[in-house]
Amino acid sequence: MNRLVTVLLALGLACHVGVLLAQSQAATASTARVDDKNISQWLLRLHDAARQRAYVGTFVVTAGGVLSSARIWHVCEGQQQMERVQALTGPTRTTFRRNDQVMTFLPDKRVVISENRESLGLFPNLLNRADSSIAKYYSLQSWGHERVAGLEADVVQLVPVDTLRFGYRLWTEQSTGLVVKLQTLDHANTVVEQAAFSDLQLGDSVSMAKLSAQMDNIEGYQVRKPNLVKTTAQQEGWQFTGQVAGFSPMSCHKRASADASAKNHDTLQWVFSDGLASVSLFIESFDAARHNKFAQQNTFAMGATHMLTRHLGPWWLTVVGEVPAPTLAVFAQGLERKK
């Protein structure tokens, strides 16, 4: 597992923050299917709740036996959103998000990483888009009610129609719709990853001005800005000929190497999503010094996050996603260099 963590961090991926919660006793309740229209309305309510509510809480996760935790402050004023995420375990790290501007402070290195992201990425991160097509690949079932972090929550389960994707069980605070707990389930309904707030104060007085002042205080830090360029896979000479039902291309960016002389080390990230789960294809030039320690093709897993690496002639492919390993294999096999 440590090997996977190292590789993911090297790719600049934010895996998860959190610490293990004792699994709640499953509620015995009806499992009535909700119609497609209600699925979309329900997802939109969750999406809006995460964006429009002020809250402070401790966020906890267990994934692949790795435990971590973080404190989250979130505030919104009109269309403006801001949050602070402070890691409570592992290396000291504080991330500020103000709309699409993200700054990650690494005090031990006295470095700030500043970048723009198209999405604020608020919890729950599974909601990349909430459209009616999701209902084609998931059904929604009611599982009753439970208390989480002292709050009354409705429990629902998103059941996938196939084995290409995981299922989800979610606890949403009854009055606001904010997700307070999330489990990712495999095809056998076994929990492979769990995330939750261990404590949460809704509507807590969070000052955007105070968070902004903290975010803007970079005195004594070296600011680094990754060179991320928006592009298309076609422009870069790639095409995907495979078929993964429900997954569509969402974005494509090229991240330049920090070493200006290492042009061949630029990395292309091509993102696909079915509206809930996402898969990223990272493509870079093969470097024997860095990649020969891996097999021609290898797979790793941590909780719901799986990773597959593959040597493609002069290229090196890394596929990462919150999907079962066989799904990543379909993406890897369907990637082709345009002739």
pTM of the model: 0.81
Question: Would you state the structure tokens that stand for residue 241, as one six-digit string?
Answer: 């000929």
Q: What pLDDT sits at residue 339?
A: 67
Is there a single domain that holds both residue 196 and residue 232?
no
Query: At 71, which CATH number?
Result: 2.50.20.10
Which range, of 98-112, 277-291, 293-307, averages the lowest pLDDT?
293-307
The residue out of 222, 245, 274 marking a domain boundary is 222
Is there a single domain that holds both residue 284 and residue 312?
yes
**Segments forming the whole domain that contains residue 302:** 227-337
| The total number of structural domains that make up the chain | 2
Is there a single domain that holds both residue 288 and residue 305?
yes
Instruction: Look at the block and give the residue holding tokens 């999907």.
Output: 323
Beta partners for 174? none
Is there a single domain that holds both residue 238 and residue 213?
no
Is there a single domain that holds both residue 90 and residue 32?
yes
- In order, the DSSP letters of 98-131 are ETTEEEEEETTTTEEEEEE-SS--PSPTT-S---
290-311 per-position pLDDT tens digit: 887 776 668 889 999 999 999 9
Query: At 242, which CATH number?
Result: 3.30.200.100
Q: What pLDDT sits at residue 28?
A: 28
- Highest-confidence segment of 17-21, 28-32, 193-197, 254-258: 193-197
Question: Would you state the structure tokens that stand for residue 330, as one six-digit string?
Answer: 């379909």
Is the pLDDT reported for residue 98 higher than 70? yes
115-144 per-position pLDDT tens digit: 987 653 433 334 444 455 688 899 989 899
Is there a single domain that holds both residue 194 and residue 277?
no
The residue out of 173, 206, 222 marking a domain boundary is 222
The residue out of 222, 253, 275 marking a domain boundary is 222
Is the pLDDT reported for residue 103 higher than 70? yes
Is there a single domain that holds both residue 322 and residue 185?
no
Is there a single domain that holds both residue 120 and residue 177?
yes
Q: What pLDDT sits at residue 4?
A: 37
**Residue, of 71 and 39, whose pLDDT is higher:** 71
